[in-house]
Amino acid sequence: MANEGWMLIHTGFRKYVFEKGTPGTYTYRLELLEKDTHSPESKSYLDFLKETGIDVVGECVNWVYLRCKTADCKFDPGNRPLYKLTHLLKIQAFFNTIRLIFMIAIALCITGIFVLEHPKPTPVIDFFKGFCVGISLASSVLMIMLAPYFNRVNRKVKAAIKDLYTCN
Amino acid sequence: MTNPEENIVLTEAVFYTLLALHNPLHGYGIMQETKRMTDGRLVLSAGTLYGAISSMLEKGWIKALPEEEESRRKEYVITETGRQVARAELNRLHELVENGIKVIN
């Protein structure tokens, strides 16, 4: 869209605001930070980027939308092995966190189902049992659906590590 | 603090950053100085430079100077440990070039 003259100027939750400008004025990147944008480490990094002419135009949890003037762009070239590996490791860590959350949810819900077996059945207990079954089923299904993406990221990390042996 | 006597191999980005920081500079200044020294061949990206600076600060190769009130830009300068590391890298590169010339030429 930047190449067509639509410049992203702001993002919110499921909202993107563009303004019309000269095509190719800005180059945009979406970056995954290791911590959320309000952490001291992320603030230090984003302040550094600002010093070098890279602006933050939007953020969502750990994701930031960055832009800089195309003529003087200081983004990491996406094809460099070290940049690729750094980026993939962040995505891998992000997926591992999601997987851990799902596994904890499944474990808690299964525990809940067993614990709730003991008291006399009441509508409330039945509701919570059904809730636990639903959450653990949903988490399991999501984990199975996301498994190919987890594996793809792991394969790309291995390939990027291999690339690093030959050039940086 | 890292022992400079260890066999450390520096990346190009780190070596040129150490060279540039023989005088105090902020991040953008390091990028400009590196670009000038290499006649535009090496353009350090912000992400790479930030990673290099963070790593070198931890290792004690460079230090951050106190921020001036008017300027929000942080400046850095090389430390004595950093100078020793840069010198060791220069010696390693000399050896690399000499061996390359002997074999290839």
Q: Provide the pLDDT confidence category of residue A82 given band limits of 50, 70 and 90.
A: confident
- Partners of B16 on chain A (C-beta within 8 Å) are none
Any domain includes B7? no
Q: What is the pTM of this model?
A: 0.72
CATH of the domain at B33: 1.10.10.10
Per-residue pLDDT reduced to its tens digit, A102-156: 889 888 888 888 877 776 778 888 888 888 888 888 888 988 998 998 899 999 8
Say how far apart CA B52 and CA B13 lie, in whole Å.
7
Binary contact (B43, A74; C-beta < 8 A): yes
Tokens of A38: 């309000």
| CA dist B73 → A91, B45, B53, B77 (Å) | 30, 17, 14, 13
Check if the interface score ipTM surpasses 0.90. no
In a domain, B6, yes or no: no
Mean pLDDT of B89-103: 95
Region A90-97 average pLDDT: 88
Residues A51, B49: C-beta atoms closer than 8 Å: no
User: What is chain A's Cα-based Rg?
Assistant: 22
* Residue B86 confidence (pLDDT) above 70: yes
Two tokens at A27? Answer: 């180059």
A 112-141 residues inside an 8 A Cβ radius of B: none
Nearest to B46 among A52, A82, A86 (CB): A52
A76, pLDDT greater than 90: no
Q: Identify whether B96 is part of a domain.
A: yes
- Assess if residue B89 is contained within a domain: yes
Query: What pLDDT, on the 0 to 100 scale, is given for residue B69?
Result: 61
Number of independent structural domains in chain B: 1
Is the residue at B92 inside a domain? yes
The mean pLDDT of B23-38, rounded to a whole number, is 94
B43 pLDDT higher than 90: no
Q: Could you count the other beta carbons within 10 Å of the beta carbon of residue B45?
A: 19
Contact B46 A54 (CB under 8 A): yes
First-to-last alpha carbon distance for chain B, in angstroms, is 40
A12 touches chain B (CB under 8 A): no
CA B96 to chain centre: 19
Tens of pLDDT, residue by residue over A13-65, are 778 888 888 888 888 888 888 788 888 888 989 989 988 889 899 888 788 89
Question: How big is chain A, counted in residues?
Answer: 168
Does residue A79 have a pLDDT over 70?
A: no
What whole-number distance in Å separates Cα of residue B85 and Cα of residue B9?
Answer: 9
A7 to chain B, closest Cα gap in Å: 21
Query: DSSP string of chain B?
Result: ---TTS-----HHHHHHHHHTTS-EEHHHHHHHHHHHTTTS----HHHHHHHHHHHHHHTSEEEPPPPSS----EEEE-HHHHHHHHHHHHHHHHHHHHHHHHH-
pLDDT at residue number B25: 95
Owning domain of residue B35: 12-104
Assess if residue B5 is contained within a domain.
no
Domain assignment present for B2? no
Query: Given CB atoms, is B26 within the 8 Å cutoff of chain A?
Result: yes
Q: Which amino acid is at A67?
A: R
Predicted local confidence at residue A53, as pLDDT: 87
Decide: residue B95, CB within 10 A, 0-12 exposed, 13-18 middle, 19+ buried. exposed
